[in-house]
Amino acid sequence: MSAWKDERDASRLLVERAHEELLAGNADDPRLAAVRPLVRDSWSRSLTSLAGAEGAPPLELDGDELVAYRSAHPLAGALDVIRSLLLPGDALDSGVAVAVGDASGRLLWVEGDRRVRTMTGSMGFVEGANWSEAAVGTSAPGTALALDRPVQIRGPEHYNRLVQPWSCTAAPLRDPETGRILGVLDVTGGAEAATAQAQLLVDATARAVEAELLVTRLRQRAEPPRRIRTATILRTAKPAPAAVLRVLGRDLATLELPGAGEQGPGGERSIELSLRHAELLLVLATHRQGLSGDRLAELVYGEPGSDSLRPEMVRLKRVLADAAPHLVPASRPYRLEAPLETDLQQMLSLLDRGAHRVALAAYPGDALPASRAPGVEELRETARAALREAIMAEASVDVLLAFADTDAGADDVELLRQCLRMLPARSPRRAGLVARVERLEG
């Protein structure tokens, strides 16, 4: 057993050093020859498409958009088959995370072991994140889609350093009639997630999913035409993207309107709002049930019945009338009748899913830091406290250290002491942290 462990550790070290040489531009280093050709080729593709070997994946689906997209996806009906084969018994204590992604590599469902999901969520392995090879480099789900074949990636074979503690096995999921790729099935965990037995199980589950899709389709064809048409409409419906109000780290908010023009890469248009208009929209976006005039005035101006509310609402409606008429607030009570997401709520959603590193990357600073509106101040403190609490309770030491380098964590002695408790005794980071603690307490 000891000899096998030594051999495994030596192999891992060799792959790690080969990876470092590739990133350093030494593509002819002889150690690269010891890396599997599949992995070596994927590293080369990753090196071409990515700037570095670190960083969280982009979150491309969130909130209502994610829910609507998943419910309309062809793989939604196969989840019970996947759960029964890969997560039998107590899924929360299974030792692995099981993910199903779409053909673009975006994760739609992530289920399984609670501890594994918390730890992998910290590196961005969460629903809505893009795990294609172009987004995060070599990984089982992304490389399986790139090669259109089952793939196993073990520890240091991952291109992204954040993912190297994990191993994974993935297989494409195809349309049973056309052969078109519908998505990808992935199992992530420790070394046991990339064994020969894991590959057999994932491949068998993929075939079972495709058989289930075919059976479901044949049943639908046997139903009356009207019901078939209804099912087809539900399957192909696409959610309309919501507008996003960006307030984190900004004194002046930006309202992003997807599909409203040609200025952005996706045809979106952005408009900048005054501080007061940003305060009004942020408060309304986070009180979807609506607010009376007195309550809205109290949250924005600090006093109910403020004479300033009505004329300011008129001005806000004029600003929105041309660019975003669907977002013009209704009255009695004041409310938004169309969806409006905020980057603050998106960040809190990431925390709920255990994506601590992604949430931290999505938090450039407090919401509207120049605002003194009571409702905004409350939201600002809630967001900061939620981020700190989640990171202190569940995040890895790397995420804790990253938070300690932000304005929100710079003077947090308890946070710094938590970092010291988690760091190895010989870590070079300890001296700097000790000095910061002594300065803050002295």
The residues, any chain, with a CB within 8 Å of residue 356's CB and separated by 6 or more, are: 121, 122, 350, 390, 391, 394, 395, 396, 399
Neighbours of 109 (CB within 10 A): 17
Determine the Cα–Cα distance for residues 133 and 142; give it in Å rounded to an integer: 4
Residue 82 identity: I
- Using the predicted structure, report yes or no on whether residue 15 has a pLDDT greater than 90: no
pLDDT at 20 (0 to 100): 65
**For the residues 72-81, what does the mean pLDDT come to?**
92
Read off the pLDDT band of 407 (50, 70, 90): confident
Domain 39-222, CATH number (from 3.40.50.300, 2.60.40.720, 3.30.450.40, 3.90.226.10): 3.30.450.40
Eight-class DSSP state of 209: H
- Using the predicted structure, report yes or no on whether residue 13 has a pLDDT greater than 60: yes
pLDDT in tens, 129-187: 999 999 999 999 999 999 999 999 999 899 998 899 999 999 999 999 888 999 999 99
- Residue 301 CA to chain centroid, in angstroms? 35
**For the residues 331-345, what does the mean pLDDT come to?**
91
pLDDT at 93 (0 to 100): 82
CA angle centred on 64, ends 365 and 336, rounded to 5°: 75
Peptide bond into 428 cis (omega under 30): no
Mean pLDDT across the chain, nearest whole number? 85
Read off the pLDDT band of 89 (50, 70, 90): confident
Determine the Cα–Cα distance for residues 17 and 30; give it in Å rounded to an integer: 11
pLDDT at 38 (0 to 100): 93
Backbone angles phi, psi at 290, to 5 degrees: 100, 160
Residue 327 identity: L
Please report, for the chain, the start and end positions of each structural domain, with discontinuous segments joined by +. Answer: 1-35, 39-222, 343-441
Taking a C-beta distance cutoff of 8 angstroms, is the pair 350, 126 a contact? yes
Enter the pTM of the model.
0.63
The residues, any chain, with a CB within 8 Å of residue 5's CB and separated by 6 or more, are: none
- Element (DSSP H or E) covering residue 345: helix 343-352
SS3 at position 237: coil
- Using the predicted structure, report yes or no on whether residue 260 has a pLDDT greater than 80: no
- Using the predicted structure, report yes or no on whether residue 11 has a pLDDT greater than 60: no
Read off the pLDDT band of 234 (50, 70, 90): very low
- Using the predicted structure, report yes or no on whether residue 377 has a pLDDT greater than 70: yes
- Residue 264 CA to chain centroid, in angstroms? 22
pLDDT at 223 (0 to 100): 61
